[in-house]
Amino acid sequence: MRYLETVMGVPMSLDLRDPDDDRSRAAARSAFDLLRAEDARFSPFRADSELRRYERGLVDAPSPELAEVLSIAAGVQAASAGAFDIRRPGGGLDANGVVKGWAVQRAVELLRAEGFGDLCFNAGGDVVVVGGPEPGRSWAVGVRSPLVPDELVARVEVREGAVATSGTYERGQHVWDGRTGRAADGLVAATVVAGDLTTADVLATSVLALGPDGVEWALGQGAAWVLAVRPDGTLVSGDAGQRPAA
């Protein structure tokens, strides 16, 4: 059964392979509730969100959630030599690059803790899967072509993990290279497969910011597989399984 809601301005689709009964519906509801709560906490559009108040120096003791998101952001910023940066070039914080993947991963953990073992959560193009759609089959995740909306550039089968894509084709060049403060233009899209969506999401954004060199970099940061598309449509890919053993 699929449950659809728009949270964080993004259509989210939760596919639970359990029967559509009260238990499933309640679980889906609590997952979306969690996402709405984190949206309220981190919303850049609400002056009273914890993030906005933190920005203005009005938060003495950040919540564990804010502390965790800031710590994830700081970690990726350091690992990417500054290419990934939640500080906007014009001042202020944009935690979107961390919050969505992190919050969706938490929602999935919640569902798993409640015993849901076969599910697929697609948050506006970022995907977490557990188990499979049916016995003996893994979830098949298509990766959309940045150039042609109804074509795929790859299909990956994932039993447990996340697939995140960052690209310039839906919302324009909203990713900048934190090292230069300018729009990142070396790639039009980057897709990362990793064990969880928190990792996949920040790595996909970082690869987009870093450009083609980010592919190899991401493999050293927990990515299992990376696919990047250059503006001319050519691909760069990397597979952690093909790297020489460390």
Q: Which residues bind another protein (CB under 8 A)?
A: 1-2, 4, 6, 9-11, 13, 15, 100, 120, 122, 124-127, 129, 133, 138-147, 149-161, 163-171, 189, 191, 193-195, 224-225, 229, 233-235, 237, 239-245
Q: Among residues 157 and 213, whose Cβ is nearest to another protein? A: 157
Q: How far is the CB of 50 from another protein (least distance, A)?
A: 22
Q: Among residues 62 and 216, whose Cβ is nearest to another protein? A: 216
The strand pairing partners of 2, in sequence order, are: 15
The continuous run of DSSP H or E covering 194 comes out as strand 189-194
Q: How far is the CB of 122 from another protein (least distance, A)?
A: 5
Q: How far is the CB of 8 from another protein (least distance, A)?
A: 9
Distance CA 22, CA 238 (A): 43
Q: Among residues 213 and 239, whose Cβ is nearest to another protein? A: 239
204 three-state secondary structure: helix
Q: How far is the CB of 224 from another protein (least distance, A)?
A: 5
* The pair of three-digit structure tokens given for residue 100, joined into one six-digit string: 């969505």
Distance CA 150, CA 13 (A): 19
Q: Among residues 11 and 81, whose Cβ is nearest to another protein? A: 11
* The pair of three-digit structure tokens given for residue 21, joined into one six-digit string: 């009964």
Residue type at position 106: R
Distance CA 70, CA 86 (A): 9
